[in-house]
Structure 1
Amino acid sequence: MSNSRIQTAIERSAALPAAEQIGLTPAAVAHIKTTLACEPTAIGLRIGVKKSGCTGYSYVMDFAKTIEADDLVFEHHGVHLVCDAASFAMLKGSTLNYVASGLSRLLQFNNPNVVDSCGCGESFSIKETPAHA
């Protein structure tokens, strides 16, 4: 993977207004660092959105192994959070937090664009914008 492609994506992301950037809590940074250490070929965590569920969309996460031309890369304390442009339109301004409650452990999205979610919390709908109407 070209370091210049990663750096360009980081610079493009950093130029966005602070309120639109995707953030990570300290707990999320620590969890993602631990997870990425188990996957040496990963350059970061890829997040996105896909059509799914009873309310429209669901979050997807995977190891980022490449950076595409339209990707944004948000850097937090050495963690690269990679997001494609189409998903970013629905994720802008979000913060990921790592939550541990009882036996449950998960990365949780705090997404200001969500207007409704299903009862089980697996899917959500977003504020309608011209790009998604």
Structure 2
Amino acid sequence: MIHLTESALSAVQTAISGSSEPVDGLRIKVEAGGCAGFQYKMGLVREGEPDDTVIEREGVKLFIDGSSHELLEGTTIDYVAALQGSGFTFDNPNAQSSCSCGKSFG
């Protein structure tokens, strides 16, 4: 299971409600790349793909493809607002290592 904190849920709800186009939810994906081997990708999508795992919480749908789901299992996603910048953070128990930016892992 992938968990969104209240802060992350609120940030996604705000992004969805502010979208100029119809949005069904948030795609979370893991791709090869980044400084540690894999990187997180997120974006609003109009609809999910047929093979996606769909997780819904308080009306927000998360769409995760099969290969990403394995790498994200047990991850907590938070949204942090700080002086240095705001953004999503990932607490991924599957990561053996991570980059200092928090956007990639190995």
Task: Give me the TM-score of the superposition, normalised by structure 2.
Answer: 0.91
CA displacement at 1:120 relative to structure 2: 3.5
CA displacement at 1:69 relative to structure 2: 1.6
Match of 1:62 in 2: 43
Match of 2:4 in 1: 24
How many residues align structurally? 105
Task: Give me the TM-score of the superposition, normalised by structure 1.
Answer: 0.74
Which one of 63, 81, 86 corresponds to residue 82 of structure 1? Answer: 63
Please, what is the CA RMSD of the aligned residues?
1.3
Structure 2 unpaired stretches of 5+: none
1:55/1:93 CA distance change after superposition, 3 Å: same
Higher strand share: 2
Residue 87 of structure 2 aligns with an amino acid whose one-letter code is: L
Higher helix share: 1
Structure 1 unpaired stretches of 5+: 1-20, 126-133
Separation in 1, partners of 2:86, 2:73: 24
1:34 and 2:14 correspond: yes
1:120/1:107 CA distance change after superposition, 3 Å: closer
CA displacement at 1:30 relative to structure 2: 0.8
Match of 2:96 in 1: 115
CA displacement at 1:101 relative to structure 2: 1.1
Q: Provide runs of 4+ in structure 1 moved above 4 Å.
A: none
Separation in 1, partners of 2:80, 2:63: 20
Separation in 1, partners of 2:11, 2:58: 12
CA displacement at 1:100 relative to structure 2: 0.8
